[in-house]
Amino acid sequence: MEPKRKVELLKELVFGLYAERSFERPAIAKRIAERRASEMLWDEFRALVNTRPPIPAGTEWLAMQDELLEGMLSEKGIASLDDAETGFADPRMRLWQGDITTLAVDAIVNAANSQMLGCWQPGHYCIDNAIHTFAGVQLRCACADIMDAQGHEEPTGHAKMTDAYNLPSKHVIHTVGPIANGAPTTKHRAQLAACYRSCLDLACEQGIESIAFCCISTGVFGFPQHDAAEIAVRTVRGWLDENDSGITVVFDVFGDADRGIYRTLLA
């Protein structure tokens, strides 16, 4: 994306987000003028969409948002299923290290909270925040519709599916992992295994052929990385053995430590 066009889009989008909150035009113009660099405008945009309620947006604003996000994701570089590492003991499972928002598979898994509306902390770099930010404001609205129809928070270990909107994947499967705080119990372990089974059950029902799992519950939810990876690989392998689904599973990791753990387990 041309830098000039990126700044143009960000200015218009940020203006619209502040106007939506009933800010006066001079105040908005001043705030935008103070953030001339695209990086500062992007931080402002991200903070505003992270805290935006799930309400409809105008067609023109959405078109600009979609142009911006698609351009930024393209700049990051889109990865495909073929880019995932193979050659492990089980050919149905692969490993990929990178940003899950750039992975073009049928479905990516989001580590959601029980509200299922994304992360509301401005600029937070959890996976929930990243997925909602780059999918666009449409994703929070879709999740809100699901939760309104459900009438209660999402139980731990369950899963729901939405479209992926601006992401290169086709769908997002949202699952709520257990909050272990560094000391997982037997119940936490069972709940984490349930997350993987629920996602795979849903993927199978919807005809998904490839799914990429993040490291569920290992971030702020505090599930130890090695323990979580062992549960993930064991549960996925067991599910694949029990179900003739044809699904290819990718374990997506971000850090080198997680990559080393999964490489050992998959071997």
Rg, C-alpha atoms of the chain: 19
Please report, for residues 68, 106, 128, 182, 263, the alpha-carbon distance to residue 166 in angstroms, rounded to integers and kept in the order given: 10, 13, 15, 34, 30
- pLDDT at residue 100 in the model: 97
Quote the CA–CA distance of 255 and 225 in Å, as a whole number.
11
In this structure, what token pair is assigned to residue 230?
């062992």
The Cα angle at residue 243 between residues 142 and 105, in degrees rounded to 5 = 45
Give residues with Cβ within 8 angstroms of 134, minimum separation 6: 69, 72, 73, 101, 166, 167
For the chain, 267 residues long, the average pLDDT of each consecutive 10-residue run is: 94 95 85 80 96 97 98 97 96 97 98 97 94 98 98 98 98 97 96 98 98 94 96 98 96 95 96
Containing 211, the helix (H) or strand (E) segment is strand 210-213
How do the domains of the chain map onto residue ranges? 3-76, 79-266
- pLDDT at residue 86 in the model: 97
In this structure, what token pair is assigned to residue 98?
């990178």
Total H helices, total E strands in the chain: 9, 8
- pLDDT at residue 167 in the model: 98
35 and 3 Cβ atoms separated by less than 8 Å: no
Q: Whose structure tokens read 């130890």?
A: 224
- pLDDT at residue 120 in the model: 97
Q: Which CATH class is domain 79-266?
A: alpha beta
Q: Whose structure tokens read 């908005």?
A: 28
- pLDDT at residue 198 in the model: 98
Quote the CA–CA distance of 214 and 232 in Å, as a whole number.
10
